[in-house]
Structure 1
């Protein structure tokens, strides 16, 4: 029992560092926006690595060779898809238009095996709640949806209005679940006293009542309380079931 435990520990260490080295060799493609092929490929490599660590019924060397071979083939295919556009299309597919001029292209949707409900979810994730406003909806190779709104519904920029440019910045979280993030607060040059004062203006209960707070690019404080006092919630469900 003790001997098997030691073997598993040693194999796990070898598997861990081998996987670390190989994922670095594969590059950021494996960690970025994955195509379906990349996703399955990553799972397979992880599965082989896990087998290398825990399968004592066969020699570890066999699994190591299998893992190395699979990674080597993947690297070769990466070079092939970079050099050959045709091979890239065959392996990674290509973007598909599923919405055009506010109309759903059913044949494209069927080809991609995407349900209407799934399309609606992806549109809402892009803050699109009216499909008639969509000029093009494009399903990317990684399964995400890119949306181009019709010109009448696109946001007007300061450049369009011939206004001088305005400095932009990052939102910085300073309170999460009633806990103050002091490092983030100091990075924005704000004190705890300033934070408490700003919160007190809108929340007499203080920081403990704050679910999330952030300093916006214009130095104002965004505040979200645990109790938002929403008078009437919109119900988007069409199923009155137990779940």
Structure 2
């Protein structure tokens, strides 16, 4: 584990220690992991629905630096939670949860929200291009060169609403564009490790109008993972947790109900 990852893990543990009783309760804790170009508040609508129904919720701040490093960070969060966990990932966050859940016997369910569910050795780039339909590439802004020589990727703000959030009100989509979190280019090219979805039951939900990850790719990944239930939301964009929080939270609660048995 790198020094950077150690620092992130320590911060995660500190946050959980402060949270304390927030993780108590009989219902499973739902841990939400956002993906590239998004942030934790993209789950706000889902959080409202889940908390209304009595579920403890943690919105993890995914670093978006590397699959392994990000998974180590989420794993540190999971280590501080007692009782059953439903681990949820959006987009690139699916790659993260597929790795982070390993070694945590209390993770009882995985939910993939317009997300990657990679096999060992696969990358997000590989899976995006496996089927036609993604229009993400041409909408990216010029990469930002980092001090270490790597690159951060953003979606061009003018193209963001149509590409990423076409079914979100334009005013809100523009705010999301301005506040988007960049992903390290290397993270999207990093091969995944052993997938937890081979051992932990999974659920999938995505929109049929997704322009980032082809719906055909998500259907294929769901079938490969032997998804317990796959929900396709008609007309939904890549951020259906923003535009259709009820559909997403409903599937999460189904996964949670299974975890409670």
TM-score (norm 2): 0.21
TM-score (norm 1): 0.22
Q: Which gives a bigger RCO, structure 1 or 2 (Cα 8 Å, sep 6+)?
A: 2
Structure number with larger C-alpha Rg? 1
Larger fraction in helix: 1
